[in-house]
Amino acid sequence: MKSFSEGWRVLVRANEAAFGRNRYSLMPGLLAISDVVVGVLFASWAEALYVHLELTKSMALQTSVGYRGAALAVAVIAGLALSDASVESSIARADIGALIGRFSARFLKVVLVIAAVSVAGLTLWQPPALLVLLWFVMAGAGMLGSRMMLSIVWRALRHRGVAVQTIAIVGTGPVADRVIRQLMQTSNRAVQLVGVFDDRTRRCAGSTFVRTGSVAELLEAGKTRPIDWVLITFPESAEKPLLALTHTLKSLSVPVGLCPQTFGIGSQPAAFVDVGVGLTVTMLADRALGRWSALIKTAEDLILGGLITLLVSPLLLLIALAIALDSPGPIIFRQKRHAENNAEFDVFKFRTMRWQPDADARNVQQTLRGDPRITRVGRFLRKSSLDELPQLFNVLRGEMSLVGPRPHAVNMRTEERLCHEISARYPHRHRVKPGITGWSQVNGSRGAVTTTEQLVRRLELDLYYIENWSLRFDLWILLRTIWVVVRTTNAH
């Protein structure tokens, strides 16, 4: 029982980041769902109250039957119409006044539109005024109450250090100073500053806040801690440095925003993106998977990964026994691989090579066809790709996905060069979790990467997958993987 509870805690901690990194961007969608549920729920209560109050019970019951379908349609329309992306900012700052004001204005518009449609006779069914009044009063109070309750819960979570946005500032100078002061004054504990990062050490002398480190140090920090936003305070006129910096920061799966030079001393253009704590910035780069996509992909990994693990568990035991009988050494082989945000993790594989405990992990030699280090059982496992099955546990731990770019070994070399030395875009393939299978693998790019052309081809396929992700795309890749494994063309 203890081992199960420990494993469950590892599973929860490993996968909670998928929601944590998107907690603010998910909020409008969650509120829309909540509004629909509240609208339908209070429609039923309004109906029951109307029947109770109406003197002519038979007429009330007859009226309420037609009311149900209309109330459901109105609840859905109201939930969508009341969706407000800026609600994140009000809730994050615990600004109850702004929350009530924005909701009241939007709800009043919904009421007026529905009333206008009804008066114009565009509906086939005209509900009694008392029934409509009951629904609007009860539903409006319920929707507003849910928002206020969410704001209270968010404030409590912030005091516990949970619902906090982590923001890193890139660039020093007056703009950076004003941004940091704004965060400190209005965030109401909603923001944790990662630090101020800048490669231009000469610009730090006139800054109020101390420079934390370089951009490279920010990238290292992103490997070990979640970052919700990176805000750049460079001037827009510095086009080349901005492009280069954005390209570098895209290796982190973090939204990157450009702060206007007039921040804190002038009005902000309406086209800017709301960070969620009263700041508006120009979006330069976004997460590879944002809003609901990360949540859907995590659910896909946990549900499908768990089912597949249960189905193949007898096969896992048989393979483990065969490896133990074939050659000495551990059954599971662990190796450092690149994870999301260029971090590192231990990938699990069935051992397919002769055990070399003193092998140098810093100089990884790729496995080639006919490699003498491969065992007899290992040759079959590699050809059938069964050696990858233990990575299902990496998926359940939240370190990998079922589908994604294959995790390359840390310090892997191609033509005697590190991969990021061959292509500056190579770190961008780590903006999502690595996968057991991927778009590259089902398109013939499997096995060792021995030439620059092979690396570039695989990188192009990986980036295409990241830029075009969808649940349907993942399921299609999983189905094609079955066919590719059966063919066993390039595996070795």
Whole-angstrom Cα distance, residue 463 to residue 178?
36
Tell me which of 358 and 221 has the higher pLDDT: 221
Question: What pLDDT score does 473 carry?
Answer: 95
**Is pLDDT above 90 for 144?**
no
Question: What pLDDT score does 146 carry?
Answer: 80
From 397, 454, 371, 338, select the one nearest 14 (Cα to Cα): 397
**Is pLDDT above 60 for 261?**
yes
Across residues 401-429, what is the average pLDDT?
A: 88
Q: How confident is the model at residue 401 (pLDDT cuts 50, 70, 90)?
A: very high
Residue 403 pairs in a beta bridge with 437
Residue 336, CB-side half-sphere exposure with 13 Å CA sphere: 11
H/E/C letters for each residue in the chain? CHHHHHHHHHHHHHHHHHHHCCCCCCHHHHHHHHHHHHHHHHHHHHHHHHHHHCCCHHHHHHHHHHHHHHHHHHHHHHHHHCCCCCHHHHHHCCCHHHHHHHHHHHHHHHHHHHHHHHHCCCCCCCCCHHHHHHHHHHHHHHHHHHHHHHHHHHHHHHHCCCCCEEEEEECCCHHHHHHHHHHHHHCCCCEEEEEEECCCHHHHCCCCCCCCECHHHHHHHHHHCCCCEEEECCCCCCHHHHHHHHHHHCCCCCCEEECCCCCCCCCCCCCCEECCCCCEEEEEECCCCCCHHHHHHHHHHHHHHHHHHHHHHHHHHHHHHHHHHHCCCCCEEEEEEECHHHCEEEEEEECCECCCCCCCCCCCCCCCCCCCCECHHHHHHHHHCHHHCCHHHHHHCCCCEEECCCCCECCCEECCEEHHHHCCCHHHHHCCCCEEECHHHHCCCCCCCCCHHHHHHHHHHHHHHHHCCCHHHHHHHHHHHHHHHHHCCCCC
Question: What pLDDT score does 203 carry?
Answer: 59
Pick from 369-373, 406-410, 434-438, 446-450 the range whose average pLDDT is largest.
Answer: 434-438
**Is pLDDT above 90 for 402?**
yes
Query: What domains does the chain contain, in order, with CATH numbers?
Result: 23-159 (no CATH), 165-285 (3.40.50.720), 292-487 (no CATH)
pTM: 0.73
Q: How confident is the model at residue 479 (pLDDT cuts 50, 70, 90)?
A: very high
171: left (phi over 0), alpha (psi -120 to 50) or beta: left
Whole-angstrom Cα distance, residue 76 to residue 319?
52
Residue with tokens 């292509």: 423
**Is pLDDT above 70 for 211?**
yes
Tell me which of 78 and 492 has the higher pLDDT: 78
Whole-angstrom Cα distance, residue 336 to residue 489?
26
Q: How confident is the model at residue 71 (pLDDT cuts 50, 70, 90)?
A: low
Residue with tokens 């206020």: 148
Tell me which of 440 and 123 has the higher pLDDT: 440
Across residues 428-455, what is the average pLDDT?
A: 88
Q: How confident is the model at residue 365 (pLDDT cuts 50, 70, 90)?
A: low
Q: What are the C-alpha distances in Å from 467 to residues 211, 431, 432?
A: 34, 10, 10
257: left (phi over 0), alpha (psi -120 to 50) or beta: beta
* Token representation of residue 14: 């490993």
pLDDT in tens, 234-251: 877 777 888 888 888 888
Supply the mean pLDDT for the chain: 77
- Share of residues in the chain with pLDDT > 70 (%): 69
Across residues 393-416, what is the average pLDDT?
A: 90
Across residues 455-462, what is the average pLDDT?
A: 93
**Is pLDDT above 80 for 271?**
no
Pick from 4-18, 145-159, 224-238 the range whose average pLDDT is largest.
Answer: 224-238
pLDDT in tens, 3-30: 444 444 444 444 444 444 555 556 666 7
Question: What pLDDT score does 140 carry?
Answer: 80
The dihedral built from the CA positions of residue 229, 233, 236 and 241, taken in this order, carries a sign that is negative
Q: How confident is the model at residue 317 (pLDDT cuts 50, 70, 90)?
A: very high
**Is pLDDT above 80 for 413?**
yes
Whole-angstrom Cα distance, residue 80 to residue 36?
8
Question: What pLDDT score does 438 carry?
Answer: 93
**Is pLDDT above 90 for 362?**
no
- Share of residues in the chain with pLDDT > 90 (%): 21
Across residues 101-113, what is the average pLDDT?
A: 78
Question: What pLDDT score does 147 carry?
Answer: 79
Question: What pLDDT score does 205 carry?
Answer: 57
Contact by Cβ (8 Å): 414, 365: no
Question: What pLDDT score does 470 carry?
Answer: 93
Question: What pLDDT score does 238 carry?
Answer: 75
Q: Which of 123-137, 210-224, 226-240 has the lowest mean pLDDT?
A: 123-137
